[in-house]
Amino acid sequence: MMRQDRDYEDVLRRALAAAAESIEPGGDGLQRIRHRLDSGRSPRSAFSGFAESLDLHGTRLLVRLDPLIEGARGALRRTGPLSRPLLALAGFIAGLFSQRGRRRVGGHRGRRGHASRPGRLGSAGAWLKPVFAASAAVAIVVVGVVILNHETGTLINPANNIGTASPGSRPSSSPTGGGRTASSKRWKLPLGISPTQPFTEPGQHGNVGSTMPAVACTATPKPAAKKTAPAGKATTTPTPTVSGTATGTPTPQPSDTNIPTPTPTNTWDSGGTATATTAAMSIPYHAGAPAVVECGTTPKTKTTKTTKTPTLAPTSTQTP
């Protein structure tokens, strides 16, 4: 039985060998395999090529953005302590860039082992580094540009220093007739005028040293006269003449909005608290003429009607 089995095994082995000899595969098997490998490898190779080009271009972009990054860092440093996280991020990006740039430029090209060494993100995430760096750099540049724009707008815009008030920030008149005082943050007097200097008109009435009625110049974007004093009621005597001349400095210039308007209260303020006026503004003093003048100042409006002499008079009784 065992011998018979062995005979069958030998017969089977010889028969299989003889049958296999008749099977001859085609000679282009290796080409087919390589073709299949290439067709399956093409998406992967395209992705790896894209990642490598992204890495290279990201590094070049960072090299070109280096001065910009430094400028942004300086701007961020000027903005104060709130920008510390952004500064840290900028430092990280700059450090990353400098390391990468040194590695790129420093002559390690062609070293296979060095190029294939995985970074902090690992070998799989190595291509993420330039993407992250580029996006972070763009974000920093955008933030820096925004901050720079804000700063330059603050420095250049004279209205910010002179009292351009937004419609929502109209100062309310104080009982002393003053709107914003000189000690206000955004309200600066021109040179030569002290906040407490009494405003005198020597020689008009021989009343040297007498104080002028208070001139409350409040910053109003719209002509305040239209709101506070209807034109129909301005009938009588106090005639403050506003002769404004435009100066080079960003000073509150008399304009349409500089029309003296009597306030509804018509209060007198003899304390000489002229809070903001120009040296060129002269208001003739008429005895007993109360002139609580509200000078709205809009620096952007042209001073074409500065020589107007509006005749305004409060309708109420005026008792100094």
Region binding other proteins by CB under 8 A among candidate stretches 90-98, 110-118, 176-184, 253-261: 110-118
Q: Which of 30, 156, 191, 287 binds other proteins (CB under 8 A)?
A: 30
Q: How far is the CB of 20 from other proteins (least distance, A)?
A: 4
Q: How far is the CB of 106 from other proteins (least distance, A)?
A: 22
Q: Which of 2, 3, 19, 172 binds other proteins (CB under 8 A)?
A: 19
Q: How many residues bind other proteins (CB under 8 A)?
A: 31
* Between 5 and 167, CB nearer to other proteins: 5
Binding flag, residue 191, other proteins (CB under 8 A): no
Region binding other proteins by CB under 8 A among candidate stretches 40-48, 99-107, 240-248, 300-308: 40-48
* Between 117 and 150, CB nearer to other proteins: 117
* Between 38 and 70, CB nearer to other proteins: 38
Tell me the longest C-alpha to C-alpha distance in the chain: 153
Binding flag, residue 110, other proteins (CB under 8 A): no
d(CA 140, CA 198): 51
Please give the residue ranges that form the binding site for other proteins (CB under 8 A).
Answer: 4-5, 8-9, 11-13, 15-20, 22-26, 29-30, 32-33, 36-37, 40-41, 48, 112, 116, 118, 123
